[in-house]
Structure 1
Amino acid sequence: MSLRADATAGVGRFSRTERWVHRTTAALMGVCVTTAACLYVPQLAELVGRRELVVRIHEWAGLALPVPVLAGLASRAFRADLGHLNRFGPHDRTWLRAALHRDKRPASRPAGKFNAGQKLYASWIAGATLVMLGTGLMMWFTHLTPLLWRTSATFVHDWLALTIGIVLAGHIGMALADPEARRGMRTGKVSRDWAAREHPLWRP
Structure 2
Amino acid sequence: MIHRATGWLMLLCLVTSACLYIAPLAQLVGRRPLMVTIHEWSGIALPVPSLLGLLSSDFRADLRRLNRFAVYDRQWLRSVRRRRTSPEARPAGKFNAGQKIYAGWIAGAVLVMMFTGLLMWFIGLLPLVSRTSAIFVHDCLAWAIVIVLLGHMRKAFEDPEARLGMRTGHVSRSWADRHHARWLREESVAGVPEKADTV
TM-score by shorter chain over 0.5: yes
Higher relative contact order (CA 8 A, sep 6+): 1
1:159 & 1:76 partners in 2: Cα distance?
A: 36
The answer to whether the 8 A contact 2:91-2:182 is kept is yes
CA offset at residue 147 of structure 1? 5.7
Mapped pair 1:30 → 2:11 = yes
Residue in 1 that maps onto 2:127 = 146
Map 1:84-99 → 2, pairs under 5 A = 84-99=65-80
1:1-204 counterparts in 2 under 5 A?
20-146=1-127, 148-202=129-183, 203-204=186-187
Gaps of 5+ in 1: 1-19
Q: SS of the residue aligned with 1:108?
A: coil
Amino acid at match of 1:137: L
3-state DSSP class of the match of 1:107?
coil
Matched residue SS, 1:102: coil
Q: Residue deviations 1:52-110, cap 9 Å, x none?
A: 11010000000000000000000000000000000000000001111122222222110
Contact kept? 2:76, 2:92, Cα under 8 Å: yes
Give the number of equivalent residue pairs.
Answer: 185
**Helix, strand or coil at the partner of 2:109:** helix
Cα deviation 1:145-192 (Å, max 9, x = unaligned): 126432211110000000001111000000000011001001110000
Task: Give me the TM-score of the superposition, normalised by structure 1.
Answer: 0.88
AA paired with 2:82? H
What SS does structure 2 have at the residue aligned with 1:189? coil
TM-score (norm 2): 0.91
Query: What amino acid sits opposite 1:21 in the alignment?
Result: I
Give the SS at the match of 1:190.
coil
Please list every run of 5 or more consecutive structure 2 residues that lacks an aligned counterpart in the other structure.
188-199
Runs of 4+ in 1 over 3 A off after TM superposition: none
How far, CA to CA, are the matches of 2:136 and 2:86 in structure 1? 41
